[in-house]
Structures are given as C-alpha cells and as structure tokens.
Chains A and B, each alone.
Chain A
Amino acid sequence: TQLLEQSPQFLSIQEGENLTVYCNSSSVFSSLQWYRQEPGEGPVLLVTVVTGGEVKKLKRLTFQFGDARKDSSLHITAAQPGDTGLYLCAGAPYGNKLVFGAGTILRVKS
C-alpha cells in the first residue's frame, strides 16, 4: 500500500483542456512536493508546498496543499503537448524521509 495515493494513474487529453491530478494520504506531511519526469530523464522538482491551505501557481500550473496537510492537487489550465510526462508527488512525513506516490502519466495530444 502506497503512503501517497495518486489519481488518476493515467490521463490522455486534448491540447487546451484542463485537468487535475490528486495526491492523497491518511498521514500528515510537513511538506509536499510535485515533480515532473519526461521520458529518458530524471524527475525535476516543480514546487514545494509547506503550509496547510497553501496555493502556489507556476504559469498554467496551480498547486494546492490541503488544510489538514494530508493531500495535494495539481491543476493544469489549457494543457499543452509540452506538459506530457509523469507527475509525481512526494511528501515528508514529520521526521521521516521523502516518500513518493506512484505517479500520474499525462499525455496531451495536439
């Protein structure tokens, strides 16, 4: 059983559509991170959220940390083919090492 559950596992959408990816847990985290991994490359950090209820924006990407610090979401507006990749959430349970979710594979078709 994953400590961090991501949904959906796979998402295929048309260019211009909006989408949301979820990262959920029954545990409380001191922080949550989102990474994007493109084929043949390692994950690259997109954002870190540290405060319950925090919202961060990175161009067309909006990240939210749940009030209870147990979940997070990533919303992409007007998806582009360049957004295609594997999106991973990672969280640090208090006093422990980072744990990763299984990831969401996003494919944006032009």
Chain B
Amino acid sequence: DVKVTQSSRYLVKRTGEKVFLECVQDMDHENMFWYRQDPGLGLRLIYFSYDVKMKEKGDIPEGYSVSREKKERFSLILESASTNQTSMYLCASSFEGGRVEKLFFGSGTQLSVL
C-alpha cells in the first residue's frame, strides 16, 4: 500500500518558534509538494521539488522554506511562526512523466500558532 506519511497530525506552536513539518513517501516519486489548506480557499501551493536538493517556489512561499536532502523526504520549515500560518498543511508526491500529474497526499498536519 503506497503511502505519504506526515510526522504529526496536530501541532501547537508559539509565535516566533521555528517549526519543522516532515513528510516521507515510499513510492520512489520524484516530485514532492507542500500545500496549505484553508476554508474557502482550497489548496494553495507553497513549495515543490522535482529532485533531491532542488526546490521551486509555489504560489505562497513567503514565510516558508523547504529542504529535500533525500528523495523520499521533503521538509517544510517555518523560520519564525506567525498566527497567520495557522492552517492545515498537506504534503503530496507524484511520479515524473506522463501527461497528467496525479498527486498522492498525506493525511495532513493541523498547525496552530498561538
């Protein structure tokens, strides 16, 4: 059974803390993505990566960074958490090639910044 695993289901952090969200996939996918999901706004792409040590900004990268040291692992970093970063964070992966990108999602991490 293929899986995208996010390390935490729920996180509560304080304003100004450095936050790490971890994501691991076991499907040997080249592509990995971080989205945030907010009511009424759908999923918005923060960062994505097509290869190890490679990263590309998505639509809302401000306040975030990422790290991809190994193919199976993609980390999202909030350098200094702020209350407007309270959200559901979803990691996804897809394989390279083919006409249409098909995303496989993790279960999400609900982050609350107080």
Contacts and interface: CB of A to CB of B under 8 A. Distances in A.
B58 A42 contact: no
Interface residues of B, number: 23
A44 B42 contact: no
With a 10 A CB-CB cut-off, give which of B35, B45, B90, B103 has the most chain A CB atoms. B103
A44 B99 CA distance: 19
Interface stretch (B12-20, B61-69, B78-86, B104-112): B104-112
Contact of A98 (B103, B104, B108): B103
Q: How large is the interface on A (under 10, 10 to 19, 20 to 34, 35 or more residues)?
A: 20 to 34
Interface stretch (A53-61, A62-70, A99-107): A99-107
A102 B99 CA distance: 24
Contact of A100 (B43, B100, B102, B104): B43
Choose among B4, B102, B105, B106 the residue with the greatest number of A CB atoms under 10 Å from its CB.
Answer: B105
Contacts, number: 57
B27 to A, nearest CB: 14
Contacts of A101: 42
Contacts of B40: 9, 102
B43 A50 contact: no
Contacts of B42: 2, 4, 88, 100-103
Contact of A48 (B45, B100, B108): B100
A31 interface: yes
Contact of A44 (B48, B58, B105): B105
B48 to A, nearest CB: 7
A72 B21 CA distance: 34
Contacts of A31: 99-100
Given A43-B90, A98-B101, A100-B44, 6 more contacts: A2-B41, A30-B100, A35-B103, A48-B100, A92-B101, A100-B43
Interface of B: 4, 9, 35, 40-45, 48, 58, 90, 92, 99-108
Rank and list the top 8 A-B pairs by shortest CB-CB distance, nearest first: A42-B105, A100-B43, A100-B42, A102-B42, A31-B100, A43-B105, A48-B100, A42-B106
